[in-house]
Amino acid sequence: MTTPEDSGKHFEDFRKGQKLEGKVGRTITETDNIWFTLLTNNSNQIHFNADYAKRYFPGKPFEGRMVVNGFFTLGLVAGLLVDVTSVNGFMLGIDKVKFLKPVFPGDTLYARCEVVSVRPSSSQPGLGIVVIACWGLNQHGAKVIEFSRSFMVRKRKVVWGKKRTT
């Protein structure tokens, strides 16, 4: 039986400058984009109305296509990195988000990151804070998004709210 101690990285596994890559890519469907956009009450029709996109955004880079909601892109790229970064912790924040190229339904995204800093938590013994610079690439290898993400991650054999068992 696999236990949480057997999967994912713990605080001790991170080093500044370390490069990590998501294990899988994810193709975004039109349905993913439309549902996410409408669930978040985003009323920008470029995300869910193909006729609108054709009429009002016919030129490059859109070429009349609906655009994937930026928050979906951000969440997807962050999520693709969880298995190799924060599966044993939780997110503290996202910063410095830049959308570099539009993402369209049918695009496949991949995620990579580099560890920027690693430090023990001053308020939570047995845990540490890791900051990573993240970026998402489309199927052509073009960088479509970049951002910084910080998360708190536990050390091995640490349970939140309990003293460490060595």
Q: For position 86, which CATH number holds? A: 3.10.129.10
| Mean pLDDT in residue range 89-97 | 97
Quick one: which of 164, 148, 146 has its CA closest to 10? Answer: 164
145 and 131 Cβ atoms separated by less than 8 Å: no
Quick one: which of 77, 105, 78 has its CA closest to 93? Answer: 78
Residue 96 maps to a domain: yes
| Mean pLDDT in residue range 93-111 | 98
**CB atoms closer than 10 angstroms to residue 51:** 10
The pLDDT of residue 164 is above 70 = no
Residue 61 maps to a domain: no
Amino acid type, 40 = T
The pLDDT of residue 163 is above 70 = no
Residue 36 maps to a domain: no
Q: What is the mean pLDDT of the chain?
A: 94
Residue 107 maps to a domain: yes
Distance, CA of 83 to CA of 25 (rounded, Å): 12
Residue 17 maps to a domain: yes
Residue 149 maps to a domain: yes
Find the domain containing 127 and state its range: 8-28+68-154
Residue 43 maps to a domain: no
Distance, CA of 27 to CA of 7 (rounded, Å): 25
5 HSE (CA, 13 A, CB side): 6
Q: What are the structure tokens assigned to 15, written together?
A: 């080093």
> How many domains in the chain?
1
Assign 3-state DSSP to the chain and report helix, strand, coil percentages, each to 5.
25, 30, 45
CA distances, 66 to each of 34, 70, 128, 162 (Å) = 9, 12, 41, 49
Please give the DSSP secondary-structure letter assigned to residue 124.
Answer: S
pTM for the full model? 0.92
Residue 58 maps to a domain: no
Q: What pLDDT was estimated at residue 63?
A: 96
Residue with tokens 């993402």: 103
Q: What is the pLDDT of residues 3-29, one digit of tens each?
A: 666 778 999 999 999 999 999 999 999
148 and 135 Cβ atoms separated by less than 8 Å: no
Q: What pLDDT was estimated at residue 100?
A: 98
Q: What pLDDT was estimated at residue 165?
A: 52
